Structure 1
């Protein structure tokens, strides 16, 4: 695992920002036991290094996204060019190079199931793609970025959407700067932003490379269940090493991610999944390189992609 050069205070700062990306420097300083200037300098260093990004993640329903799924891709020749081509698709917020049966893994999101089918066809047509295996999500069981059900699309006005577009790029932008960009007073801007956060429309979080927290091993897994297997999904999702889990249709019933500090911890978690009552079989793959993790698929950024969970 690559050394991050971070100390325990850095890691505590990151954990606090994962819970609330807009946490004020005064509050953050009190929680980690530093002065405000010292904690601000640490946050800026983390941001400048690329170890940390603080962004708003908007509820998919607000973005008009109602269909999503996991894809694993067979390739002819080198896998990296295929992964980069998939990452260039605005409908692909998450792409990795993986060790396993299929070397490229991605998440796809689209407005509806016909649109998701079109994106899958685009992936199949990319140069170097030999085949695509897809699992369509039917229910997200555990997701650190998932907010409660969002209000109807019509409840947001143009100013709300402008705020969301800005916060998706910089979740810690001060209210005064936000106000200048959207043409409101700082007080009105603050009230709107807090309403969007409190209602579940969006959540400002720290996106962190796992090795920053000493969790440098990510492993995806796909589970086949026996019968109804009541409670198996919830039991697996309750384990802290399982950072993501979705129910799906396709070649698997569940798709998830293990995030752990060592290969031994990954192995033990996978063994626990295999031993879970109701589990028939488990397939796994190790994520080698995060090519893309970017969820700003809103109106003003949905046609761009920046190469960098399943």
Structure 2
């Protein structure tokens, strides 16, 4: 990825796309007070340099899938290649390499009621050990503060799309199976281009995507490296919390500006958090003063994140 310096308009544009990944640039430009051409040019620069992209994310539970948090111990020399191999799998999300270079953590999706498909991993020559635990619930409603703090409340209100419906998830059809991979690759692809890719009419593609969004089956996310936003210190935090304090602890963490994700898991740790900080000193302070002051926390394990190879976030709700 080329080095890019983000200006205020860039930060506002990214915040706007977090609110609605397919909002017309004309609408975004009007709210930001810039020209349509400026909004288009700024996003093209972010996309073409690999700084950010918009991607479609399908609700795993709506598909009847469970999410597994998988932690691999690996030979140090194999981290990069293995992470890329995992990222190419359609059933993985959020593939990360930890700072030791001997661990990879990722999300694996499988049909609910079945075991995680780990057979191929346990036989891999570079993998020394595998742990897999169910990601039971996402406990953070908002998105990380660092990605969504550039707009005023009035601008957010003007750009926020209507809330998704609460009806039962709709069943995916043949069009969806062609459409969703195209949107995962480019969440802002124009309707004529999508129609050409999937072999359906533009009106059918437009109508179906609106249905998927209204049902909550599909949402749009912006993949952007926190380092570009000025937050290079990123850390996985596994916590063992007494059951009576689990909900309160998760709620407290989810309200922190440093928190990018909070979720409940099975296994020896029952809570996973991702902290994103300005630097190592800020991360130390967060771990010692904030995490250390939480009631009911019996054990904490931390692991700095070296890199993300796949950024699609967990999607269960």
1:199 and 2:197 correspond: no
What residue is the counterpart of 2:168 in the other structure?
151
What residue is the counterpart of 1:301 in the other structure?
none
1:291 and 2:300 correspond: no
The more displaced of 97-106 and 16-25 is 97-106
Counterpart CA distance in 2 for 1:194 and 1:37 is: 26
Counterpart CA distance in 1 for 2:58 and 2:257 is: 24
* Secondary structure in structure 1 of the residue aligned to 2:18: helix
Counterpart CA distance in 2 for 1:212 and 1:206 is: 13
1:234 and 2:236 correspond: no
What residue is the counterpart of 2:30 in the other structure?
30
For residue 62 of structure 1, report the CA deviation from its aligned partner: 4.2
* Secondary structure in structure 2 of the residue aligned to 1:134: strand
What residue is the counterpart of 1:174 in the other structure?
190
What residue is the counterpart of 1:262 in the other structure?
279
Query: Deviations for 1:224-273, whole angstroms, at most 9, x for unmatched residues?
Result: 01242151112212212111111111121101211222222322332312
Counterpart CA distance in 2 for 1:167 and 1:87 is: 17
CA contact 1:79–1:103 (8 Å) conserved in 2: no
* Secondary structure in structure 1 of the residue aligned to 2:185: coil
What residue is the counterpart of 1:125 in the other structure?
123
1:184 and 2:226 correspond: no
What residue is the counterpart of 1:276 in the other structure?
294
Counterpart CA distance in 2 for 1:163 and 1:88 is: 18
CA contact 1:135–1:251 (8 Å) conserved in 2: no
Q: TM-score of the superposition, structure 1-length normalised?
A: 0.82
What residue is the counterpart of 1:74 in the other structure?
73
Q: TM-score of the superposition, structure 2-length normalised?
A: 0.81
What residue is the counterpart of 2:159 in the other structure?
none
Residue segments in structure 1 that go unaligned for 5+ positions in a row: 298-310
Counterpart CA distance in 2 for 1:144 and 1:93 is: 19
What residue is the counterpart of 1:139 in the other structure?
137
**1:4 to 1:74, Cα distance in 2 relative to 1, 3 A:** same
Q: 1:249 aligns with which of 234, 253, 266?
A: 266
The more displaced of 158-167 and 240-249 is 158-167
Residue segments in structure 2 that go unaligned for 5+ positions in a row: 144-163
CA contact 2:169–2:215 (8 Å) conserved in 1: no
**1:143 to 1:110, Cα distance in 2 relative to 1, 3 A:** farther
What residue is the counterpart of 1:308 in the other structure?
none
* Secondary structure in structure 2 of the residue aligned to 1:114: coil
What residue is the counterpart of 1:60 in the other structure?
60
CA contact 1:135–1:252 (8 Å) conserved in 2: no
Counterpart CA distance in 1 for 2:129 and 2:223 is: 31
* Secondary structure in structure 2 of the residue aligned to 1:105: strand
Counterpart CA distance in 1 for 2:120 and 2:105 is: 15
What residue is the counterpart of 2:234 in the other structure?
218
**1:231 to 1:294, Cα distance in 2 relative to 1, 3 A:** closer
CA contact 2:140–2:254 (8 Å) conserved in 1: yes
What residue is the counterpart of 1:306 in the other structure?
none
CA contact 1:100–1:284 (8 Å) conserved in 2: no
For residue 203 of structure 1, report the CA deviation from its aligned partner: 0.8
Counterpart CA distance in 2 for 1:225 and 1:285 is: 18
